[in-house]
Structure 1
Amino acid sequence: MGRPWSNSRAKRDQPIGSIRLAGNLFSQGDTSPIAAHRGMNILIKVGYLAIALGLCALLLFQWLGSAIDEHGYLKEPFALVPVGTSLLMGGILAVAIGLFKRRLRYSSAD
């Protein structure tokens, strides 16, 4: 029979969680429903993470506040506003796209 690791059929028949297939789950040729479902979950999870980070940045901007120093300059963490807003909008967009694609996939399966 020879070496089982040199046989392409042996690689294909291994369970999904095996070490050899771990790097190939999201390859371009993989169209299995498991890989597509995991891809959508990742998009939605990244979207939720971006929303949480965006809200944290905006809340941190409010919490730190602003002050005027003795020379009349305004001191505030203004960079948190565009970063927080961008993360919030990007997260909302990612979650919306992920949920829309999930709905399309399940509605076309019927």
Structure 2
Amino acid sequence: MNKLIRLRWPLLFFSLGLVCQFTFYLIGSRVDENGFLIEPFGLLPISWMFISLGLVLLIIRLVKLRRSRS
């Protein structure tokens, strides 16, 4: 359980990124009558930022766990 508590922030950020991706595909996109594409584009860079941050934090935590064992 202690290891899971240490990984809460990486898992939280990774989960937020996946929720943003899911929300983007759930909302969808459309073309209005003037030919403009209407889509929630802001969710894409936010989701990749969250996923990247979660992976970086996960790598840092795993390296720290390995160093503390040695």
TM-score normalised by length of structure 1: 0.57
Kindly provide the CA deviation profile for residues 66-94 of structure 1, in whole angstroms up to 9, marking residues without a partner as x: 00111111100000000000100110110
Give the alignment partner of residue 101 of structure 1, picking from 56, 61, 64. Answer: 64
Give the gaps of 5 or more residues in structure 2: none
1:66 matched residue in structure 2: 29
- Are 2:50 and 1:87 equivalent residues in the alignment? yes
Kindly provide the CA deviation profile for residues 37-76 of structure 1, in whole angstroms up to 9, marking residues without a partner as x: 8xx81xx211100000000001111111100111111100
Instruction: State the distance in 2 between where 1:103 and 1:45 align.
Output: 17
Identity, % of aligned positions? 33
What CA distance in whole angstroms lies between the structure 2 residues aligned with 1:71 and 1:64? 20
Higher helix share: 2
- Ranges of 4+ aligned residues in structure 1 off by more than 4 Å: none
| 1:14-33 correspondence to structure 2 within 5 Å | none
Gaps of 5+ in 1: 1-36
TM-score normalised by structure 2 residue count: 0.88
